[in-house]
Chain A
């Protein structure tokens, strides 16, 4: 809602103010102004909603808020103003916001807001139709006004209880109606405030409550994980508060000083007495039971702290039989995360304020109380940087966490990306973290500072992500900077009506005449309101300047292995079947062409020319010099020859059924494919089932099975021959990508074969021990992957360029592509599942700027033959103090970047080097942190809150297939994991590194969210340790591409009966890959939860049900990274190891 107003004004102001930035006095004043603005703003727009919220709100909270706000100028604003006020003043800006706001305030009140949107965009993108939502909405235009909120509002109203796990909520938002985009996240982040507002419109008392939850959490959770947990705690504390304030206090205090632990008993009884007690309390109960049962009936692989340490946690272990540690999960995080609901949950002070508010209020109001007192100081400290640590208040992300003491480091809800510490307007404009993430959301000013922080600096990109809503701009002139060719973006500054200043090279450019007209508002003279300047992710339809040849048609070539091995495995049936089903869904237009090549020891071509009565097979046996028998009729138009293609696809699986040919001439077949594709470019999909044994590019087995579990040297991580690499480069030059599906049961030298995809921007799929009947899970996976693969979006002849603000330089790229010049990636194909990583360094210090920007521009030919440019722009603040650098660290991004670097290192040097480097990354950064925080004890292992998961993730990485040693790992599996690390986007990669574990035998509707009229329960995350597994339970592990359901030996029969459909544990079969549709409540819950998890990712994961004693159990247990294995540390040992290294 605060969007529409004075955007441009803001921009102007921003440019003007950047000069003033260092001058502290300006920034110290703000709170007053801001408050004023808030008041104006609210009284103007929201007075009614605010009141309606206030009246029904729960007694105590009301009291509280008023107290809190006694100092604020306009009491009316209180409940409503909270959020808003926090935005503006707590924002801790680097530009001088106050000025801008004061300047703007008149605009705020007068601005008619919101639904400016509709026209322009509906024309350009067809995705916009959102049945449930009024047409005024167009959130992608960054007018996430009321209407955006309304879906949320409905979500909440329909909810029985306050939301738990807001994060999930936002995730599912897209699913709500198919038209509402999954990828809205960016709008969601933008629109949070309005979200909470609009909710307040509809709501009554309990919604007020939930609103607070959601509004704040939405922002908060994206900053720090703890807040996520907090959320779930919230309802509990609320309830408790009414009944027994004493307990509440103790909760709070225990949160503050994490060493004091209240016995769980209190909590158990307390929530139980309140009938409406929400999920968290349930989970407390559950967990309590879990852990108690764990201790009583020791499960097989327990290597928990207790076991290791004995008296490690004396207070908890000795006192009560067990449960004490567990509830801490929910208590540990500070309930004060609600502090600055909209903006800065991260930047509040932990201790002092906590104690201050303790007596009076339940958690979520506390933040509001703090806020009016601090904003000035906050800004001051941000400007003065270094002071912030010494200062009494510390950003939440900087709160020191004692890793060895903190037992439940993992938050209850999934970890979100930290939000850059920008002013609220910029923040709303900023690129979604799903597309574009930086390892440090606060960019250090100099390389020296970066070196001191010992954290990697880089970007993680997911540029071609499926976006259902995206502003598409058709315009004859695409406005770009004349010197650096940057596309105009929301972070440029308009000097006056006719000129803009590039935010990357600071050149002043003219605004072209055409740009002055805004098709959106149909007004003239407002260049700053153009969609290009209102959205950080836009897509341009390129004019003819951007092509020198007509855009290529979609061309697909399938190269299929039909040797004995392949036929035996039976993949052909699945591939042909999937192709038949999806033939009409292949992306393309009327020019789409398709072709097939099969090979064993010879290469077979298929003439599918229109007019033939049946497909004609042409065999070329001269594999040393492959030629194309009939070059014109091998790649045929899909629509003209559809019948022939269908005939061929139905005939193919049976054609080679009696083959005795065991050789595989992959190299010659690829050469032929390359020849066939080179005139047009396109996509080659190669299906290979064994080591290529004939012709060019033949390979020999290099794997020594005895070395699989070697702890020393892992050899043969690099390619054995250059053939595939050269072929890939040739293909890349002809705009052809090679995608590899390897379905081998034996060693097939993926290290060499993968090169064909790596350098041609293809993708790699690997199905170890594939067999259509012996291994149904893999067969199902292939089927699902193929479905996605064939129907997903595709871009041809693409190039991607990443630009960044002068002073920063990009030096190493990770992913599948060919680097054509130092900042240009050549991508023959681009697919929505491809991720990239980039390392950066700071070449010149960034003293004269307070913001840096990164821009990726991806130019591609769509399957419809349009030349398009997708542009993402990310803006981040520059900081001067080390503590701010740590405060902004994005641990997931850092871990993913490190994983990429480690893959490079293990290929170019050795695996053990790479492992050492990973450990050193943790050791260095933590020791650097400890040495900066001089007041900390040197002997304890302290991490800033932002990095508290760093050791855990690195340990998980060390136990990942790619990097583990000591555990038997097949070479191909290892290489495949490495390929995945290089080419997966962050979201998938994180699941691969650190899977999510949920307990699913007691799903409840507490805190559930609603998606498409379905109730999706939200169980809390469990840490990856056998300690959490109980024999009485059933657990779901989400590893990204596969789901495991582990069933304990004495699992409740009712669960097995109701969910799995078998009478008892013993009758559950070994190979169960799906849940039956049973008409029971628990089955419904489990299925809706799993479906919901599935829907949130493009790759349809396979489900595998594992009984406790089945042999597949090891697959499940290998992911329990916190436990000790024969060859690797447990989490606690790893921490001790790090501590040792630091002290050295």
Chain B
């Protein structure tokens, strides 16, 4: 029973993982809100509604953009910590996602840094469903890793 660095890493990541789960859930809700609109045609025709809807979309996209960097940095922090703690298995599990995040972040089209979750682009049914799927997958991943970290934390605490 010893409080090693690895155990600390797991504890910290446990907490942060909860935050990530929260982010993922928020993403799902946000995309759902983007997708659904009132069915009533009359509301659609109403310019006031149009304005509100547009505001809403912009606000959501703005928040989504705000969350991109925290999420990615938290996740990279995990990886760095596990690298330092020499937890190879855990690192191996996380590396693919890190690469995906890097790709996603740097694969923005040329010239503009803000094209991720761009209101006109994200409303595309294709993009939207892609984002939604991505959010669900991440939620699943974070949930599983949450329990995995919990297990590992206890394991390291108990074993050493």
Contacts and interface: CB of A to CB of B under 8 A. Distances in A.
A824 B44 contact: yes
Contact of B128 (A545, A734, A822): A822
Contact of B45 (A547, A758, A909): A547
A799 B123 CA distance: 15
Contact of A733 (B36, B41, B50, B120): B50
Interface residues of B, number: 35
Main secondary structure on B side of the interface with A: helix
A812 B124 contact: yes
A734 B112 contact: no
Interface string A846-886: 00000000000001000000010000000000000000000
A908 B109 contact: yes
A546 B42 contact: yes
Contacts of B47: 548-549, 552, 681, 735, 797
B120 A729 contact: yes
Contacts of A485: 39, 41
A830 to B, nearest CB: 14
A546 to B, nearest CB: 5
B51 interface: yes
A546 B120 CA distance: 25
A729 B45 contact: no
B129 to A, nearest CB: 8
A733 B125 contact: no
A734 B120 contact: no
A715 B110 contact: yes
Interface in A796-828: 797, 799, 801, 809-813, 818-824, 826
B46 A820 contact: no
Contact of A821 (B53, B55, B114): B53
A704 to B, nearest CB: 14
Contacts of A725: 118, 120
B123 A733 contact: no
Contacts, number: 112
A759 B42 contact: no
Interface residues of A, number: 49
Interface stretch (A207-215, A442-450, A564-572, A716-724): A716-724
Given A485-B39, A821-B123, A716 B50 contact: no
Nearest to B49: A548
Contact of B58 (A552, A729, A824): A729
B54 A733 contact: yes
A722 B36 contact: no
A810 B120 contact: no
Contact of B35 (A715, A721, A821, A908): A821
Interface in B17-73: 34-37, 39, 41-42, 44-51, 53-55, 57-58
B123 A822 contact: yes
A731 B18 CA distance: 40
B125 A734 contact: no
Contacts of B54: 729, 732-733, 818, 820, 826
Interface in B80-130: 109-112, 114-115, 118-120, 123-126, 128-129
A632 B50 CA distance: 25
Contacts of B124: 811-813, 819
A295 to B, nearest CB: 48
B112 A549 contact: no
A868 B138 CA distance: 45
Nearest to B113: A722
Contacts of B45: 542, 546-548, 797, 799, 859, 867
B46 A548 contact: yes
A907 interface: yes
Contacts of B41: 485, 546, 801, 859
Contact of A547 (B46, B58, B129): B46
A547 to B, nearest CB: 6
Nearest to B55: A733
Q: Which of B36, B54, B120 gathers most chain A CB within 10 Å? A: B120
A908 B108 CA distance: 8
Contact of B111 (A720, A801, A822): A720
B65 to A, nearest CB: 11
Contacts of B57: 820
Contacts of B120: 725, 729, 758-759, 818-819
A548 B125 contact: no
Given A732-B54, A809-B125, A718 B111 contact: yes
Contacts of B119: 729, 818
A812 B35 contact: no
A817 B112 CA distance: 20
Interface in A497-553: 542, 545-549, 552
B114 A722 contact: yes
A1096 B34 CA distance: 42
Contacts of A735: 47, 50
Nearest to B52: A733
B111 A719 contact: yes
B123 A819 contact: yes
A718 B50 contact: no
Interface in A936-964: none
B110 A718 contact: yes
Given A733-B50, A813-B124, A908-B109, 14 more contacts: A547-B46, A548-B45, A729-B58, A751-B111, A759-B120, A797-B47, A811-B124, A812-B126, A818-B120, A818-B123, A820-B37, A820-B50, A822-B123, A859-B44
Interface of B: 34-37, 39, 41-42, 44-51, 53-55, 57-58, 109-112, 114-115, 118-120, 123-126, 128-129
Nearest 6 A-B pairs (CB), nearest first? A821-B37, A733-B54, A819-B123, A548-B46, A811-B125, A811-B126
8 contacts: A720-B111, A797-B50, A799-B50, A809-B125, A818-B123, A821-B53, A826-B54, A909-B109
